[in-house]
Amino acid sequence: VIVNELTTVEVPSIQVAEVYDLKITVDPEVIKDIVTVTASADFVEVATGPAATFDSFQVETAVNFNRDIVDVYGIDPRVNIDNEDDGFEINCAGKHPRFNSVTLDGVGQNDRFGLNSNGYSTAVGMPFPYDAIAQLAVELAPASVTYSGFSACTINAVTKSGTNEFRGNLFWEQTDDSLRGDSLGGDTRDFSTAPFTSNKIGLSAGGRILADKLHFFGAYEETDSPRFLARGFSGSGIGVEREWLSQADHDRIVNIANSVYGYDPGGQPGDGVQEQEKQMLKLDWAANPQHNVSVIYNFYDGFQDRDSDGDPDEFEFANHFYVKGAESETTTLRVSSQWSDSLSTEFFLSDNYMDDSQVTKGPGDFGDFQISIDRDTVYLGADDSRQANSLRTDTGYLKLSAQMLKGRNVITAGYEAEKNEIFNVFVQHSRGGEWDFYTDSGFANNPASCAGLTAQGRLDAGCALSGIDYFELGRPSQVYYG
């Protein structure tokens, strides 16, 4: 900061959404004039609205096993975090997560299609490295014309910048099943899990390219963690067993799928995995004391294994599972200018490309077969919602804002535009369809003579049939196709 074109004061950092108390020490000189300054005191403190801010110390020292900013601002009682298997749901003042806005240096990282529960553009994790974040601000209902695109809260993450000093950070975290508790005092249940290993590694570095003129900061992070999805028939010893599914019924369905339909259902599903890779690079150029330019590149690639039908009354073979993935690439240009003591402007130009994928584990053209066993259901084939499911978005963002001090007033003007190009395919039952095989209501009351018959024999004898019988005979109770 240059004061009266004579005194230069260095400001090491400014916390987002806070007032900075600038102290200036001047050398005494001969008194030439005496100037008396008077002002009236405000009766109330003026603010845009309720907010929570977190500086670099709070971000770096937060207890954060998930390396996600939600663990930082989640300590605020106005923000509730629901920890779901598929991500965090962020409720600000009780509102749905889709009413929030998440920005990185003022540029949106939102779920632009509205399908994700976590509010991010990427459904399987935070789309930028945690070590790239310097400060956070969560503002609830701010009264300012510069905010838009939300009605719950806006969450802005400010990235770190390089300085004249070279600094770096390297981390590695690992945990496994031996470090996880398997019992709870007063509870007889067994909470042990299958053997697993989870890893998080990353690094960050920043420094100068040209002293006082051009600086860089970069961060890289990758993680892999287990998803406990394993399940099996009663007595299999695999994951969460389905007590209603016997080995005899399981093996019969597998044999029918292979011999009658020529399809391998994939066996009993094991545990899955979630993997993420994040990259961020930032260049800051101090063109002159009045103009600063920043270029930010952010890349995310991640996926997680998911079940399609995982309720206790459902069992799905491994090929009925699917992989949920997201790949995102964002480039941002920001120009900040201080034209005079009373006029400043900011210019943003950003482009974001996101590829959201949902790919079935097995062949995508074999239908979704649902076989009832009493009130329970066995699934095999390609899940009906994953047979044709693809989403890609390309978003361009432009913003120009200006602020002018006029006496005791601040005049704000600006222009903002966002253009979304969306390609979306979602057609259920489009490649293999859905084939449902129901158990007849009178199957449990069949006479004893029906028990020893084959499926064809029961049909010929007029006996009630099970869902597995109908599956063997190729006689679906209901079909959805196209």
- Please name each of the domains of the chain with its CATH number: 35-159 (2.170.130.10)
Which pLDDT does position 21 carry in this prediction?
Answer: 62
* 126 in Cβ contact with 5 (< 8 Å): no
420: helix, coil or strand? strand
* 278 in Cβ contact with 128 (< 8 Å): yes
Which pLDDT does position 149 carry in this prediction?
Answer: 80
- Averaged over successive runs of 10 residues, the pLDDT of the chain (482 residues) comes to 60 61 62 62 52 90 88 87 68 82 88 81 90 92 80 90 96 91 82 88 97 97 95 95 97 98 96 96 96 97 95 97 96 96 95 94 94 96 94 95 93 94 94 96 94 96 97 97 82
Q: How far apart are CA 25 and CA 5, in angstroms?
A: 15
Q: Is 409 exposed, middle or buried (0-12, 13-18, 19+ CB in 10 A)?
A: exposed
Only one residue has tokens 């480039």, namely 331
* 160 in Cβ contact with 207 (< 8 Å): no
Q: Which residues are bridge partners to 203 per DSSP?
A: 170, 220
* 459 in Cβ contact with 473 (< 8 Å): yes
Which pLDDT does position 146 carry in this prediction?
Answer: 83
Q: Which residues are bridge partners to 345 per DSSP?
A: 337, 402
Only one residue has tokens 């990185």, namely 104
Find the length of the chain: 482
**Cα–Cα separations (whole angstroms), residue 26 to 3, 23, 32, 341:** 10, 10, 15, 20
Only one residue has tokens 């007033």, namely 409
Which residue type is seen at 296?
Answer: I
Cβ neighbour number for residue 446 with a 10 Å cutoff: 17
Which residue type is seen at 41?
Answer: A
Please work out, in degrees rounded to the nearest 5, the angle formed at the alpha carbon of residue 337 by the alpha carbons of 407 and 132.
Answer: 120
Which residue type is seen at 52?
Answer: A
Residue 302: CA atoms inside 13 Å, Cβ hemisphere, count?
28
Q: How far apart are CA 275 and CA 221, in angstroms?
A: 11
Burial 175-184 (b: 16+ CB within 10 A, else e): eeeeeeeeee
Burial 67-87 (b: 16+ CB within 10 A, else e): bbbbbbbbebeebebeeeeeb
* 296 in Cβ contact with 338 (< 8 Å): no
Q: CA nearest 391: which of 362, 359, 366, 367?
A: 359
* 228 in Cβ contact with 193 (< 8 Å): yes
